[in-house]
A = this chain, B = another copy of it.
Amino acid sequence: MTYNQLVKQIGLKRSFLCAGLDGDRAQMPPHLRKDPNALFAFNRELIDATAEYVVAYKPNTAFYEVEGSSGWRQLSQTVAYIKENYPEILIIADAKRGDIGHTAQRYARAFFEELNVDAVTLSPYMGADSLTPFLGYKEKWAIVLALTSNDSASDFEMQSLANGQPLFEVVIQKSALLGTKEQLMFVAGATRPQALARFRQLIPDHFLLVPGVGAQGGNLEEVALYGMNPSCGLLVNVSRGMSAFRAKEIAQKMDLLLPNTLVC
């Protein structure tokens, strides 16, 4: 998917909602709990119920790996189901991978060729050569962790370097040299909305994937205030408690926050 195609979808649906696909067997309805394909069955129901309100789906690989090879198969089925029925919706594998170049190349193949998602989240800790293998794929995106939504983002991400900048800013600056807004997005937690203004100074045009609205306490209006650009430039993720009702409710709020026309 291209940058312009994504912006157009946001304009058409008047939504920048990314729905998490993180099924938890223990919390599923009884008829699914004992189904060996519960993860896929749960996802299919949720996808059909929410597709009109979302522009992206984000399965987190942890929720599939916990069921081993069966989980990985259900992740693959989920991706294929979205591609077949809702090809206009971006699919993000929230995998947070990061390895040396030789191995990162394998991950790029695993996610962009074998699983066939549109985007994958990456951890920048090991530096540029863990990111570049993902940038050689046309219409695929690498989404780099910058400032995450969890409390212990303060442990390392927010630590000041010798030049006074926090680590996450240097991650943004060095990573942004590696690829364009067509290739790269960044993760920016909703729990520190004012930091989004700093993201916009450093990378005015790139899309930001913003987790942390909802269960983690982030505020949608503040995220839009500090992080939105003339193309929207935001994918706000909600995972826990997702449903047709919830997706519609969030999309209605997003409609009011979006400008009437989006710059493509």
CA distance A51 to B160 in the complex (A): 46
Which residues on the B side are within 8 Å of A65 (C-beta)?
Answer: 72, 106-107, 110-111, 114
How many copies the complex holds: the figure is 2
Q: Give the most central of A63, A109, A111, A156: most B CB within 10 Å.
A: A156
**Contacts A73-B69, A76-B69, A109-B66 hold; do A150 and B126 have CB atoms under 8 A apart?**
yes
CA distance A95 to B60 in the complex (A): 15
Distance in Å: Cβ of A177 to nearest Cβ of chain B: 11
Residues of A within 8 Å of B, CB-based: how many? Answer: 58
Interface string of A149-166 (1 = CB under 8 A from B): 111111111011110100
Contact between A100 and B148, CB atoms less than 8 A apart: yes
Q: Within 8 Å of chain B (Cβ to Cβ): is A123?
A: yes
User: Which candidate, A167-175, A197-205, A226-234, A251-259, is the interface stretch facing chain B?
Assistant: A167-175
Q: Give the most central of A103, A125, A157: most B CB within 10 Å.
A: A125
CA distance A234 to B74 in the complex (A): 38
Which residues on the B side are within 8 Å of A22 (C-beta)?
Answer: 103
Of chain B, the residue at the smallest CB distance from A155 is B127
